[in-house]
């Protein structure tokens, strides 16, 4: 299976979006809404923005963040604060102008009418899956397994319902405070026993994606995974984001990914 919807980074633009809103969801977890994109900005589900968190020299490198949605000129990003870059983005205020490059990277394949697709996402890894679910064609069915540590980290995905396709959200929490008590891959396994899916999309912690891949490969279901490795340039030049394929090739996650064919990843060598 080929990498889907490969996008040349030359399609990326230098952007100066404005902060519209910062919405706190839980401690160190927030939604960042950006506006002021040009008409030519048309991201595909799975693509990301490479954001400079500040106009100062430090931190120098941009930070890659998936686009969770882009609707009516507003981009929404779901961000976990883990270090200096995501902390500075958290401190941004409405009207602040950011420096961004995008949309970058490959996308998930389209969810066609009549297809059933299983999505398995953990933590902020649900962001690109939400983008894929939002683009599902009328008549598609999506089972969306959404795993978080605790109920306070769940963002409302009500905007995915009431559409001309069926999107079923299955929440799981590590501490049992909402939905299934345990991992989202356990829910995925149960669903895979009940239904034949056309494909599985996954994004989140490596161990979670590895499990999602195993579940898919045991049933010979295509798996598309978004690999959120650390990045440097985001443009294919620095080789800071390479990972090894089972054939011993090296792939640049920023331009050959982040969305890749799960069968082309050495899941055990990480």
Ligand X SMILES: Cc1cc2nc3c(=O)[nH]c(=O)nc-3n(C[C@H](O)[C@H](O)[C@H](O)COP(=O)(O)OP(=O)(O)OC[C@H]3O[C@@H](n4cnc5c(N)ncnc54)[C@H](O)[C@@H]3O)c2cc1C
**Binding residues vs ligand FES (CB under 6 A):** 231-234, 236-241, 252-254
- Decide if residue 258 touches ligand X (CB under 6 A): yes
Residue 86 — φ and ψ, nearest 5°?
-70, -25
Could you tell me how many residues make up the chain? 270
Residue 63 binds which one of ligand FES, ligand X, none, with CB within 5 to 8 A depending on kind?
Answer: ligand X
Q: Please report how close the Cβ of residue 232 comes to ligand X at its closest, in angstroms.
A: 10
Q: Is 180 helix (H, G, I), strand (E, B) or coil?
A: strand
For ligand X, give the closer residue by CB, 109 or 165.
Answer: 109
Q: Is 2 exposed, middle or buried (0-12, 13-18, 19+ CB in 10 A)?
A: exposed
Q: How far is the CB of 134 from ligand X (least distance, A)?
A: 15
Residue with smallest beta-carbon separation from ligand X = 83
193 Cβ contact partners less than 8 Å away, ≥ 6 residues apart: none
Q: Which listed option, ligand FES, ligand X, none, makes contact with residue 236 (CB within 5 to 8 Å by class)?
A: ligand FES
* Residues whose CB is less than 8 angstroms from the CB of residue 240 and which lie 6 or more positions away in sequence, other chains included: 230, 231, 232, 233
Report the nearest approach of ligand FES to the CB of residue 231 (Å). 4
- 234 makes contact, choosing from ligand FES, ligand X, none, with CB < 5 to 8 Å by partner type, with ligand FES
Q: Is 204 in the site for ligand X (CB under 6 A)?
A: no
Give the residue with the Cβ less far from ligand FES, 59 or 236.
Answer: 236
DSSP secondary structure, 152-164, as one string: GGPPP-GGGSSSS
Q: How far is the CB of 121 from ligand FES (least distance, A)?
A: 23
Please tell me whether residue 63 binds ligand X under the rule CB under 6 A. yes
Q: Which residues lie closer than 8 Å to 266 by C-beta, 6 or more apart?
A: 243, 244, 245, 246
DSSP-assigned beta bridge partners for residue 172: 147, 180
100 near 114, Cβ under 8 Å?
A: no
Report the number of secondary-structure helices (H) and strands (E) in the chain.
5, 17
Structure tokens at 153: 């980290």
Any contact of residue 229 with ligand X (CB under 6 A)? Answer: yes
Tell me the C-alpha distance between 153 and 56, whole Å.
31
Binding status of residue 80 toward ligand X by CB under 6 A? yes
Nearer to ligand X, 120 or 192 (CB): 120
84's contact among ligand FES, ligand X, none, with CB below 5 to 8 A by partner kind, is ligand X
Residue whose CB is less far from ligand X, 25 or 198: 25
50 vs 170 by CB, closer to ligand FES: 50
Asked if 133 contacts 159 with a C-beta cutoff of 8 angstroms, the reply is no
Give contact residues for ligand X (rule: CB under 6 A). 48, 59, 63-66, 77-80, 82-86, 124, 127, 228-231, 258
């Amino acid at each position: 299976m080929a990498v889907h919807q490969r996008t040349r980074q030359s399609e990326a633009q230098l952007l100066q979006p404005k902060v519209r809103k910062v919405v706190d969801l839980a401690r160190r977890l927030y939604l960042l809404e950006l506006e002021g994109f040009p008409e030519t900005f048309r991201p595909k589900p799975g693509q990301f923005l490479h954001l400079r968190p500040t106009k100062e020299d430090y931190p120098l490198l941009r930070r890659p963040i998936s686009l969770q949605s882009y609707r009516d000129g507003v981009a929404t990003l779901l961000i976990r604060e883990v270090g200096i870059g995501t902390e500075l983005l958290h401190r941004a205020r409405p009207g602040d102008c950011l420096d961004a490059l995008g949309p970058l990277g490959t996308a998930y394949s389209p969810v066609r009418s009549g297809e059933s697709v299983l999505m398995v996402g953990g933590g902020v890894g649900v962001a690109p899956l939400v983008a894929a679910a939002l683009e599902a064609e009328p008549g598609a069915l999506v089972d969306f397994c959404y795993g978080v540590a605790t109920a306070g980290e769940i963002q409302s995905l009500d905007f995915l319902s009431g559409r001309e396709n069926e999107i079923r959200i299955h929440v799981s929490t590590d501490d049992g405070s909402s939905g299934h008590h345990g991992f989202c891959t356990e829910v995925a396994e149960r669903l895979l026993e009940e239904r034949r899916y056309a494909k599985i999309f996954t994004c989140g912690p490596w161990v979670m994606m590895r499990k999602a891949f195993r579940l898919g490969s045991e049933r010979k279901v295509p798996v598309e995974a978004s690999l959120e490795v650390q990045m440097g340039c985001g443009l294919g030049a620095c080789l800071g984001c390479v990972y090894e394929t089972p054939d011993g090739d090296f792939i640049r996650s920023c331009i050959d990914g982040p969305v890749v064919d799960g069968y082309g990843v050495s899941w055990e060598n990480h």
